[in-house]
Amino acid sequence: MWHAYRVELYPHYNQFTGITDDQGHPLTFPAAFRKRRRDDEPKGIVKVVPE
């Protein structure tokens, strides 16, 4: 997918990432991709960048 659309796809198997939320609950991969690591703010999954 990277060569055609410049996106990477990750399978979701309901596994935890080792990253926790504000309450200390472990996050799954889709939930972990929706927050920034440096300040735990929510982020979008897709970001359009100019070539």
pLDDT score, position 3: 64
Range of the domain at 49: 1-51
Residues in the chain: 51
Q: What are the tens digits of pLDDT across the range 29-46?
A: 778 878 877 887 887 666
Q: What are the tens digits of pLDDT across the range 8-22?
A: 666 667 778 888 888
| Residues 17-33: b if buried by 16+ CB within 10 A, e if exposed | eeeeeeeeeebebeebe
CB atoms within 10 A of CB 2: 8
Number of domains observed in the structure of the chain: 1
pLDDT score, position 27: 86
Widest Cα–Cα separation across the chain: 39
Q: Is the pTM of this model over 0.75?
A: no
